[in-house]
Amino acid sequence: MSPTTNAGLSNTGSISSLALVFGDDRNRGALRDALDSQGFASAAFDSVQTLWDSLSSGRRYDALIACADKAWSPRRWVNLRSMVKLPILVVVSRDALELASTFDDESINGERIEFATAPVDGAELAMRLRLLHSRRNGTNAPPVEEDLIWGSFHFKRQARVVLVDGVEVRLQPREFEVALILFQNLGKVIGRAEIEAQLFDRPASPGSRVLDVHVTRVRRKLSLGPEKGVRLLTIYGVGYRLVALNPPSEIRSG
């Protein structure tokens, strides 16, 4: 099987390129979609040998995601550990949860393993990869990001969730980032290029409307209007400005 790749910018510091191994096409595809939603680069392999061939050709990966399902065998783990020396995130399918107990303490400590249970979304994958990164560097887990609260809007930054009047509003990962950037810069004009630099790994193409689409969805989903005490202004040719119409005029952390 020839590996296919997603290209992107990671949210975990130096972990930016990931290899996925084992599992079926459906499971690997779901994981890659979740990784892509968070901006990670990834390549998928159906065996340790095809992964090893990629490494031997000069490809480099910062971490490995191993899909553990009913087809998992102790031999797979032996082969993986002997051929690949990378931090490992094991994603265990719900019908194979008993597999978690087969990873002994020595292998967990020696190979810097983190676990997650499928199905797993992009936000949780990013969090688990941050833990792997911190362990690889001999540090404690990264500090928990403080929530951001303004009026009826509550941004739960660690979970990448927004509550409006206490009700969760489902945003896509980049929509969440756009909304957070706007509220972090409440009252200020923030340029398109500045927002795009925080969202994407490369400059937007001239005339691109991707950012406008994200902003439109954020405006609609969060009901950014007078009824919520704010107004989202488009500064044509420049960027955007989120204006507070009513108190509270200050953002606080929670």
CB 146 within 8 A of CB 158: no
Query: Is pTM beyond 0.75 here?
Result: no
Max distance between CA atoms of the chain, in angstroms, equals 63
Predicted pLDDT at 252: 59
pLDDT tens readout for residues 44-96:
888 888 888 888 888 888 888 888 777 777 777 777 766 777 788 888 776 66
pLDDT tens readout for residues 106-128:
444 445 677 777 777 878 788 77
- 221 burial (CB, 10 Å; 0-12 / 13-18 / 19+) is middle
Predicted pLDDT at 108: 45
pLDDT tens readout for residues 167-221:
989 888 888 889 999 999 999 999 988 888 887 755 666 777 888 999 999 999 9
For the chain, report the end-to-end CA distance as a whole number of angstroms.
48
Predicted pLDDT at 225: 92
Cα–Cα distance between 131 and 140 in angstroms, integer? 8
Q: Directed axis angle between helix 210-221 and helix 173-184, to 10°?
A: 80
Q: Which of 58-62, 121-125, 134-138, 162-166 has the lowest mean pLDDT?
A: 134-138
